[in-house]
Chain A
Amino acid sequence: MHLTPDQEILWQWLWLHVNMTMVYTWLLMLLLTIGSWLVTRHLAGPHEPRSRWQNAAEVIVETIRSQIRQVCPRAREEHVAFIATLFLFIGIANILDIVPGWHAPTGSLSTTAALACCVATAVPVFGIRGQGFVEYFRSYMKPSPILAPLHLLSETSRTLALALRLFGNIMSGSLIVGVLLAVVPFFFPIVMQLLGLLTGMIQAYIFSILATVYIAAALRTKEEGE
């Protein structure tokens, strides 16, 4: 039984191997890139009739942007772009589970760890860009410099939690379907698969909302924090 798509190796040469996680990640990246390129190729102006794809893209972008603005009112366009990319990647990876033969790349710890590392890198970068180098690192020294190791510890553990939460949820979904296929073969796995789709969307939402909360905490300036 394969726990993660990491264990299915497609092609191997000496120490170099390509597993199914990489294949599905690249497929998904291609799908997202080509899809958004196709949609944004001929954008209509504000007073022209727009295509249905442009409408759909605008609805998605506007919804994500308003959700982020509600949590973090000072989010700029670059933060919105980063978080929305995370959400779309995870959400579509989990939604595509309905395609036969698709293994969500988020069901592998390496993908989720990479995503969590992206968040862990982006938070200080955005924080330094938002409030300056000295000011950002001064926030580690609050309320007293003794607590700086604890701040670092909490950043590490929340990165670990981000990765493990997404991985555990998606992996447990496919594992439960795999076990149920052996026990009650016909109807019940379908219900669990439906539940897995719901869980996948909720996890995508939670991952991106947590990233928003972390970025919002890094962007918070002195007068707001007090």
Chain B
Amino acid sequence: MDIVLVFGVTSIVAAALCIVIGSIAPAIGETRAIVQALSAIAQQPDEGATISRTLFIGLAMIESIAIYCFVISVILIFANPFWNHVVAK
């Protein structure tokens, strides 16, 4: 088969797998964090400001994993470093 075709298909499938698998784990993690924070706020409404600030920091930390996967899949699709090399062959 044509090497360019194989390379393109592989890149796209790899990008899709990267974003799919890479967003499942942060989604579960963020859900758990939000659930815990909501029940904590329900029990102690006075501490709501502190809890939500810590929640935001934690969510940002968790979310960066999904962002890494997103950046990798965008690089694979739009700015693949090996694309020119493969096309030149």
Residues of chain B lying within 8 A (CB to CB) of residue A161: 61, 64
The 8 Å CB contact of A3, one of B53, B68, B79, is B79
Q: Does A169 contact B (CB under 8 A)?
A: yes
Q: Which of B47-82 contact A (CB under 8 A)?
A: 49-50, 53, 56-57, 60-61, 63-64, 67-68, 70-71, 74, 78-79
Verify A206–B70 contact, CB threshold 8 A. no
Q: Does A168 contact B (CB under 8 A)?
A: yes
Chain B interface bracket (under 10, 10 to 19, 20 to 34, 35 or more): 10 to 19
What are 8 A-B pairs at a CB distance below 8 A? A161-B61, A164-B67, A164-B71, A167-B71, A169-B67, A202-B56, A206-B56, A209-B53
Residues of chain A lying within 8 A (CB to CB) of residue B60: 165, 206, 210
Whether A165 contacts B78 in the complex (CB less than 8 A), given A70-B53, A172-B70, A206-B57, comes out as: no
Residues of chain A lying within 8 A (CB to CB) of residue B70: 168, 172
For the complex of A and B, the 6 pairs showing the least CB-CB separation, nearest first, are A168-B67, A206-B60, A165-B64, A161-B64, A168-B71, A165-B67
**How many residues of chain A are within 8 Å of chain B by beta carbon?**
19
Verify A209–B56 contact, CB threshold 8 A. yes
Residues of chain A lying within 8 A (CB to CB) of residue B57: 206, 209-210, 213
Q: In the complex, how many angstroms separate the beta carbon of B75 from the nearest chain A beta carbon?
A: 10
- B interface with A by C-beta (< 8 Å): 49-50, 53, 56-57, 60-61, 63-64, 67-68, 70-71, 74, 78-79
Q: Give per-residue flags for A149-187: 1 if the beta carbon is below 8 A from chain B beta carbons, else 0.
A: 000000000000100110111011001000000000000
The docked-state distance in angstroms from the alpha carbon of A172 to that of B63 is: 13
Q: In the complex, how many angstroms separate the beta carbon of A5 from the nearest chain B beta carbon?
A: 15
Residues of chain A lying within 8 A (CB to CB) of residue B74: 3, 171-172, 175
Q: In the complex, how many angstroms separate the beta carbon of B83 from the nearest chain A beta carbon?
A: 14
Q: In the complex, how many angstroms separate the beta carbon of A201 from the nearest chain B beta carbon?
A: 12
Residues of chain B lying within 8 A (CB to CB) of residue A175: 74
Q: In the complex, how many angstroms separate the beta carbon of A202 from the nearest chain B beta carbon?
A: 7
The docked-state distance in angstroms from the alpha carbon of A209 to that of B68 is: 20
Q: In the complex, how many angstroms separate the beta carbon of A214 from the nearest chain B beta carbon?
A: 11
Q: Does A71 contact B (CB under 8 A)?
A: yes
Q: In the complex, how many angstroms separate the beta carbon of B18 from the nearest chain A beta carbon?
A: 13
Q: Does A205 contact B (CB under 8 A)?
A: yes
Q: In the complex, how many angstroms separate the beta carbon of A217 from the nearest chain B beta carbon?
A: 12
Which of B60, B74, B78, B79 neighbours the largest number of chain A CB atoms within 10 Å of its CB? B60
The docked-state distance in angstroms from the alpha carbon of A168 to that of B68 is: 8
The docked-state distance in angstroms from the alpha carbon of A61 to that of B61 is: 26
Query: Which residue in chain B gives the minimum CB-CB distance to A3?
Result: B78
Residues of chain A lying within 8 A (CB to CB) of residue B68: 164, 168
The docked-state distance in angstroms from the alpha carbon of A167 to that of B72 is: 13
Query: Which residue in chain A gives the minimum CB-CB distance to B49?
Result: A70
